[in-house]
Every structure is written in structure tokens, then in C-alpha cells.
């Protein structure tokens, strides 16, 4: 059986888009690995890249050209210093030289060697083709970015299922009913079942280290967003709001780093309306960092990266002041598993399913995870996930100017609030009275995605993207 790890759903990378930035970046890296494995890398004389469909239509706004150049230059999205991104790309554009794989110096002009084709390839909306001239012959390799930083090749037999990861989990899960069966059989919470699966492919120490690294990245992202003011890049002149909102909420609290920041917020007297503002502030902060080519965690995508950290932060600073790493661990394990169920049964790609596949899935992931931490049973956890998705069904993806800013940033705040509401509703719900199980809403989401008009799937050809005059922004 195919399986997806929590660490496949929660990846560290550079914004603004997992499908349009991280995916093409990883595809470029994979292509270079292919060339090296076939002993062709050193004979490459020139390279060109063709982008298709959504990658072409909104690629500029999503920095797809940046991602391709950085990936071809041998830079790693997890480790590249964020402040080196612009300078690296600027050097390539000005000198027309690409340090291919960080090793070969090739003539390269982004204006002519990265080609934005408006047409769609039949296999997937996010297609790209890498071509290398070797011994006067063209060698081509096609990749598809299918959401969440996942990249597949058309010939892969599992590509149409949206994943290609093989392993042998002791508790193989594709549907919510299967997950609940394992929970009942072994009398375990969802987080523990997921943990046992993860332990089959890495040690407990490795799991803890990686989950801590993911949380540290999320926390740093929220902290950075709350302490950075100014205007987002891209031409829409969108002013960062997290900074001003955070200044009003925190008052005169003093701290020196993200960890101290958590304790400072805990010590702040929070009224009901302020709870909503704090959650929104955390979500806005993450996605403002994402929109400015900052480092975030796909959860399950970059465009929806703010929902999960903001809901987890809500738990730590509002719900449980004694919350610790074990709580963070459980939250991320549950969230990752719920996300994988949606990926296997539907999609997490906005280019395939609209924003319901991003914000909707992230809200479901956060709702289920929060529900377990608040004492929900496995059945209630899935009810929470179902409620959250049910009220995102049909949500379109229509970014103005192809940028992950309007309406994307605000949607993270809305998705986070819905997740908290869904978790609370689920805790007061008897699972036997539930009319719509999680698996049903997953199927419905996929059917809705297939019925949705293409122009509402991350093309900037419908909805707000054409209903708003950019000069008014």
C-alpha cells in the first residue's frame, strides 16, 4: 500500500507557493540528480525550462521563475539564507550565467530560457519540462507539481493518485474509517497510531528532532511576521497588518526571542474579542512572511501555511499554559495524518481543486488536531475535520495578480477561526449522530474539484482576480 508520512505533509521551504515555488524548485533538483545518475550532467551545454498551465498563468506572481533558477543553481529551500534569494536571482539576470547545480557555468537568460506557455498539459495543471543540450541533442524530462511540494513524473504509475511514496506502515491508512478501526482495535488515540507508523521508518529520536524543527520554523515564522512592518513585494502594495495588530495586542510586554514571546503572550490578559484577534494575527504573520519569499512550513501547502501554526499557538497561549512539546508533537501528528487522507482521497493542489484544497484541508487538519488536544475521542477528531472542510467546500482559488496575497492571507485567518470553532462543535457532538462522515466529505470535495470551472483554479482568470482593478490596489 502507498503511504504518506507526516513529514511529507509538513515540509520546510520557501514561499510563496508549495506548488508553484517549492515544487518547481524540487523538480529542478531532481532533474539534476537524474542527469548525474545517468552520467550526463558534465556534458550539459545549455538548459531551457517550459512552464505550463497554472505554473505559467500565475508563475510570475508565485515566483516560479525564481524557484527554477534557485533549484538549478543547487540551492536548498530548507537551508538557503532568505536574504540571499534576491541577490542570487539578480546575479543570474544581470550576468546571464547559471551556476548549474552549483558546479557548471552555463550561459542562461531567464527572459528566453524560462518559457511561460499558457496551454495546459493533459496530465496535470502544473506541468513543467526541463531540456538540456547534450552532444548537440535535446534531452527532455517532464515533471508535475501536484501540491504541497510533491513532485511526480507522468510515467509514474501512481501519479494519478497524487502521490508516489512507498513504504510499509504497520497500520496502513487511506480513509478515516481505517484510521478509526486501528484506534478501536488497539485502544489508542489518533496521534499514537500515527506515531507507530512513523516509528516504522525512523527512530523516535529522529521523529522528535524533526517535529521540533518543524515547530521551531513555524514559531520563527509567526515571530518574524509579527515583528516586520512595511509593504509586501509584488506590486499590489499590500501593507503588512500583523505588525500593527500585534503591537496593539501585546502592549508593553518585553521579550527577546520567540520562546520568551510565548510566555509574554500567556501573561497578557486576553478578552474574548482579543482571542480572535490573536489567532488572526498569528495566521496573518505567517502568510505575510510566505508572501515575501520567507521560510515557512507547508501545512499542507504554502498558501495555507498560517492555519496550523496559528491554531497550535492558540492552544499554547490561550487554552493550555502548561502546553509542552508532547502537545505540539500530538498536534502535528494528527494534523499530518488528516492531511494525508485528503491528499489520497482528493487533492491538496489549488490548481486541481481550488482553495478548498488548501485552506479547507489546512482547516480540517488543524480542527482535528486541536480536538484531540482538547480531549476529543478519535471519532470526534474526525468529526472536527469533517466540519471544518464541510464549510470550505467550493472555495475557489482566484489570487489577484497571481500573488499569494489577496485573498490568500486573510483566508488563513478565516480558516484558523473555523478550525477552532469546528473543534469546539465536535467536542459537543455524539459521533453516532453525525450524518456526514469524514470520508464522505473527502469524496465530495474531490467531486466538487472536478466540477469547478478551470478559471477558478489558480489561473487568475476568474473571480476576484479579474473583478478587481489592479490600479486601485
pLDDT in tens, 452-471: 999 999 998 999 998 765 55
Q: For 215-229, 285-299, 454-468, which range has the lowest pLDDT when averaged over its residues?
A: 454-468
Q: What is the pLDDT of residue 269?
A: 81
Do the Cβ atoms of 152 and 143 come closer than 8 Å?
A: yes
pLDDT(159) > 50: no
Q: What are the Cα distances from residue 428, in Å, to 61, 197, 316, 375, 381?
A: 43, 30, 22, 11, 11
pLDDT(162) > 60: no
- For residues 133-140, give the mean pLDDT: 94
| Per-residue pLDDT tens digits for 73-90 | 999 999 999 999 999 999
**Which has the higher per-residue pLDDT, 158 or 230?**
230
Query: First CA to last CA across the chain, in angstroms?
Result: 49
Q: What is the pLDDT of residue 167?
A: 61
pTM (global) more than 0.75: yes
| Per-residue pLDDT tens digits for 31-76 | 999 999 999 999 999 999 999 999 999 988 899 999 999 999 999 9
Q: What is the pLDDT of residue 158?
A: 45
C-alpha to C-alpha distance for 399 and 291, rounded to whole angstroms: 12
Cβ-in-10-Å burial (0-12, 13-18, 19+) of 75 comes to: buried
The pairing of strands 97-100 and 104-107 is antiparallel
Q: What is the mean pLDDT of the chain?
A: 93
- Torsion angle, alpha carbons of 102, 103, 106, 112, to 10: -20
Q: How many CB atoms lie within 10 A of CB 450?
A: 11
What interhelical angle do 359-373 and 325-345 show, nearest 10?
140
pLDDT(178) > 90: yes
Q: How confident is the model at residue 105 (pLDDT cuts 50, 70, 90)?
A: very high
| Per-residue pLDDT tens digits for 393-448 | 999 999 999 899 999 999 999 999 999 999 999 999 998 888 999 999 999 999 99
Q: What is the pLDDT of residue 364?
A: 98
Q: What is the pLDDT of residue 472?
A: 54
Q: What is the pLDDT of residue 42?
A: 96
Q: How confident is the model at residue 161 (pLDDT cuts 50, 70, 90)?
A: very low
Closest alpha carbon to 420 in 286, 296, 313: 313
Q: What is the pLDDT of residue 63?
A: 93
Q: What is the pLDDT of residue 160?
A: 42
- For residues 339-350, give the mean pLDDT: 96
Q: Which grid cell is 139?
A: 534531452
The pairing of strands 127-134 and 137-147 is antiparallel
Instruction: Look at the chain and count its residues.
Output: 473
- For residues 20-25, give the mean pLDDT: 95
The H helix count followed by the E strand count for the chain is 20, 9
Q: How confident is the model at residue 268 (pLDDT cuts 50, 70, 90)?
A: confident
Q: What is the pLDDT of residue 163?
A: 46
In what side-by-side order are the strands of the sheet with 127-134? 114-116, 44-51, 127-134, 137-147, 150-152
- For residues 197-208, give the mean pLDDT: 97
Q: How confident is the model at residue 324 (pLDDT cuts 50, 70, 90)?
A: very high
C-alpha to C-alpha distance for 331 and 326, rounded to whole angstroms: 9
Q: What is the pLDDT of residue 372?
A: 98
Q: What is the pLDDT of residue 152?
A: 92
Amino acid at each position: 500500500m502507498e503511504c504518506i508520512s507526516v513529514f511529507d505533509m509538513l515540509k520546510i521551504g520557501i514561499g510563496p507557493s508549495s506548488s508553484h515555488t517549492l515544487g518547481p524548485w524540487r523538480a529542478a533538483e531532481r532533474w539534476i540528480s537524474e542527469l548525474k545518475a545517468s552520467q550526463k550532467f558534465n556534458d550539459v551545454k545549455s538548459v531551457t525550462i517550459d512552464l505550463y498551465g497554472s505554473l505559467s498563468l500565475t508563475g510570475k506572481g508565485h515566483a516560479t521563475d525564481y524557484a527554477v533558477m534557485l533549484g538549478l543553481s543547487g540551492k536548498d529551500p530548507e537551508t538557503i539564507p532568505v536574504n540571499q534569494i534576491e541577490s542570487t536571482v539578480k546575479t543570474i539576470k544581470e550576468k546571464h550565467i547559471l551556476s548549474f547545480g552549483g558546479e557548471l557555468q552555463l550561459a542562461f537568460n531567464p527572459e528566453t530560457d524560462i518559457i511561460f506557455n499558457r496551454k495546459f498539459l493533459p496530465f496535470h495543471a502544473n506541468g513543467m519540462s526541463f531540456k538540456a543540450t547534450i552532444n548537440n541533442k535535446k534531452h527532455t524530462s517532464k515533471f508535475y507539481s501536484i501540491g504541497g511540494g510533491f513532485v511526480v513524473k507522468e510515467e509514474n504509475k501512481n501519479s494519478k493518485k497524487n502521490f508516489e511514496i512507498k513504504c510499509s506502515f504497520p497500520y496502513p491508512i487511506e480513509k478515516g474509517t481505517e484510521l478509526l478501526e486501528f484506534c478501536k482495535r488497539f485502544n489508542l488515540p489518533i496521534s499514537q497510531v500515527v506515531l507507530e507508523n512513523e516509528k516504522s521508518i525512523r527512530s523516535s529520536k529522529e521523529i522528535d528532532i524533526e517535529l521540533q524543527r518543524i515547530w521551531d520554523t513555524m514559531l520563527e515564522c509567526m515571530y518574524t511576521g509579527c515583528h516586520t512592518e512595511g509593504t509586501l513585494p509584488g506590486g499590489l502594495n499590500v501593507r503588512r497588518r500583523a505588525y500593527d495588530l500585534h503591537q496593539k495586542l501585546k502592549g508593553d510586554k518585553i521579550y527577546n526571542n520567540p520562546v520568551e514571546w510565548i510566555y509574554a503572550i500567556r501573561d497578557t490578559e486576553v478578552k474574548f474579542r482579543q482571542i480572535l484577534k490573536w489567532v488572526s494575527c498569528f495566521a496573518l504573520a505567517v502568510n505575510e512572511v510566505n508572501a515575501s519569499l520567507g521560510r515557512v512550513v507547508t501545512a499542507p501547502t504554502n498558501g495555507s501555511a498560517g492555519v496550523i501554526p496559528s491554531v497550535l499557538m492558540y492552544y499554547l497561549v490561550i487554552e493550555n499554559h502548561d502546553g509542552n512539546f508532547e502537545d505540539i508533537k500530538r498536534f502535528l501528528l494528527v494534523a499530518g495524518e488528516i492531511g494525508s487522507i485528503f491528499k489520497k482521497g482528493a487533492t491538496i493542489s489549488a490548481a486541481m481543486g481550488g482553495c478548498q484544497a488548501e485552506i479547507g484541508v489546512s482547516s480540517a487538519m488543524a480542527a482535528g488536531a486541536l480536538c484531540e488536544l482538547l480531549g476529543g475521542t478519535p471519532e470526534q477528531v474526525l468529526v472536527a475535520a469533517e466540519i471544518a472542510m464541510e464549510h470550505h467546500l467550493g472555495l475557489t482559488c482566484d489570487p489577484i495578480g497571481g500573488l499569494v496575497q489577496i485573498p490568500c492571507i486573510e483566508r488563513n485567518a478565516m480558516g484558523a477561526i473555523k478550525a477552532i470553532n469546528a473543534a469546539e462543535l465536535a467536542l459537543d457532538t455524539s459521533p453516532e449522530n453525525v450524518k456526514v462522515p469524514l470520508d464522505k466529505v473527502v469524496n465530495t470535495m474531490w467531486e466538487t474539484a472536478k466540477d469547478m470551472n478551470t478559471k477558478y483554479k489558480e489561473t487568475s482568470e476568474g473571480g476576484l482576480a479579474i473583478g478587481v482593478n489592479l490600479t486601485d490596489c
